[in-house]
Amino acid sequence: MSQELRAVEWTGTGLALIDQTLLPQRTETLPVHDVDTLVDAIQRLVVRGAPAIGAAGGYGVALALLQGEREGWTEAEVRAAVARVREARPTAVNLMVCVDRVMTRFAEGLDAVLAEAAAIQREDVEANRAMGVHGAEWLLKKVGADRPLRILTHCNTGALATAGWGTALGVIRELHSRGSVEVVYADETRPLLQGSRLTAWELVQEGIPHYVQADGAAAGTILRGEIDAAIVGADRIAANGDTANKVGTVGVALACADAGIPFLVAAPTTTVDLATATGAGIHIELRAETEVLEWAGHRTAPTESRGHNPAFDVTPGRLITGLVTERGVLEISAGELPGDRLR
Ligand code: MRU
């Protein structure tokens, strides 16, 4: 990619979000100047991916201040608007962490708020770059193959899902830059197709060879020995290493464990929630039934059917060979727990 993609950008007066619901058919930017539009954008997945919604949420504090000034809000009203941004989606802890971090500068006013939000964005890109190197080196050593790797990934964890570069996709990009990627298997990621629409699009931009496969194909591909390792991102990681990520992730982890190949989670420490002891404490977002009962706006399931649509699942830490953060790799299944190592 000649110029690094920016899913979230502060324009000076508001946010410009790449509308990820339209990709890959259309590349359009949604201008955001008020809190309602931001909350709606986060909930409709115009902006998505844990670090990207964290970055957008950070700037949401600035939006609330500016809107409050325009519309004559009291401080309590501005704070209530910020709370709505913070709660727009429940699973990714980055959203809450970033909003809370920016709120520590609230009393200092708009410039301080904007500086903190920008620092979050900058640090996320730096963390992703560091993760790329740590993850690539660990993986090359672990797999020990003297040939390019065949890697499976689930959902989208690239520049679109972060402030830039990517987490799991950042590791893949780093491996690719070293000539160490034979092919990426991108799970399509039902029901909203972040894999086939967004990951495949980013892989095309990067010139990385890939297949898009149905989520249901993943376990078979792994068990047939067609994959060397799987790398995914995370929305929240509990102190014991249990990890919430896009629904379908736990099946990939189970298949990797059975096949005896590495299952890697790549996420910045802003995704680690040491206040949550285990995965049982992670709030899993349940999304609209229509997302699984319809296809492209047309009903496909019988009208009598109900839909079950959890957006995420929890992979137990015992199935996670390595957790890559900007600080290095923790071998969770071997007992290196975030609660002990990242406090
Ligand atoms: O519902 P989404 O598209 O926001 O889900 C995103 C994921 O599950 C990602 O894997 C996760 O947020 C990590 S993004 C670097």
235 among known catalytic residues: yes
Q: Whose CA is nearest to atom 15 of ligand 1?
A: 157
Q: How far is the CA of 108 from the centre of ligand 1 (A)?
A: 32
> Is the pLDDT at 90 greater than 60, yes or no?
yes
Residue 283 pLDDT: 98
Pocket residue to mutate for ligand 1, from 48, 173, 324, most atoms within 8 A of Cβ: 48
pLDDT tops 60 at residue 2: no
Q: What is the mean pLDDT of residues 304-320?
A: 98
Instruction: Pick the catalytic residue from 124, 235, 242, 313.
Output: 235
Question: 72 pLDDT exceeds 90?
Answer: yes
Confidence of residue 3 (pLDDT cuts 50, 70, 90): low
The answer to whether 100 and 107 are in contact (CB under 8 A) is no
Per-residue pLDDT reduced to its tens digit, 173-231: 999 999 999 999 999 999 999 999 999 999 999 999 999 999 999 999 999 999 999 99
For the chain, the residue count is 343
Domains assigned to the chain? 8-123 (1.20.120.420), 131-342 (3.40.50.10470)
The residue to mutate among 89, 91, 97, 157, having the most atoms of ligand 1 within 8 angstroms of its beta carbon, is 157
pLDDT at position 4: 82
Q: What is the mean pLDDT of residues 35-43?
A: 98
Name residues contacting ligand 1 (CB within 6 A). 45, 48-51, 92, 155, 157, 161-162, 167, 194, 233-235, 245-246, 311
